[in-house]
Amino acid sequence: MKAELKLITDLFGEFSPAEYIPVNDDVFHITLLLGIGGVDSEAMDYFDVSICTLEWVRLNNVKPVILNNTILVDNYDFNEILKYINECINLCDGKNWHEVANNLSKFFLWEYDRYKTLSAVKE
């Protein structure tokens, strides 16, 4: 099974990532919401990914720091970011959607990451 990007927006739906222009191209951080689903389906799950510069990390984090679900860039180039996101998605296939989504969660924060059903929590 293969996946494809079906939606890309900022986390809160306030602006279009394709039209976003950072106030400072050297120091910025945004979080994108990605809707990703199987190529043969209209359904999608949501994944988050942060986009930021190394200088933003230096100014806003106590060291040491682990950067999960983050793409470091030198500047905001939406086309390059979109290309990279699609390259990551293309690396993630599997026998079923759950396997694909688990592979995607190595790059992006999956909405069901660490999800446990109520019955699993009670055990």
- Residue 102 is which amino acid? N
pLDDT (tens digit, 9 = 90+) per residue, 71-105? Answer: 999 999 999 999 999 999 999 999 999 999 999 99
d(CA 54, CA 114): 28
- Residue 25 is which amino acid? D
Mean pLDDT, to the nearest integer, of 103-113? 93
Tokens representing residue 79 in the block:
């086309």
- pLDDT above 70 covers a percentage of the chain that reads 93
For residues 25 and 116, which has the higher predicted lDDT (pLDDT)?
A: 25
- Closest C-alpha among 35, 41, 55 to residue 104: 35
State pTM to two decimals. 0.89
- Closest C-alpha among 45, 44, 46, 42 to residue 12: 46
Going by pLDDT thresholds of 50, 70 and 90, the confidence category of residue 53 is very high
Going by pLDDT thresholds of 50, 70 and 90, the confidence category of residue 122 is low
Tell me the residue length of the chain.
Answer: 123
At residue 25, the pLDDT reads 92
3-class SS string, 88-112: HHHCCCCCCHHHHHHHHCCCCEECC
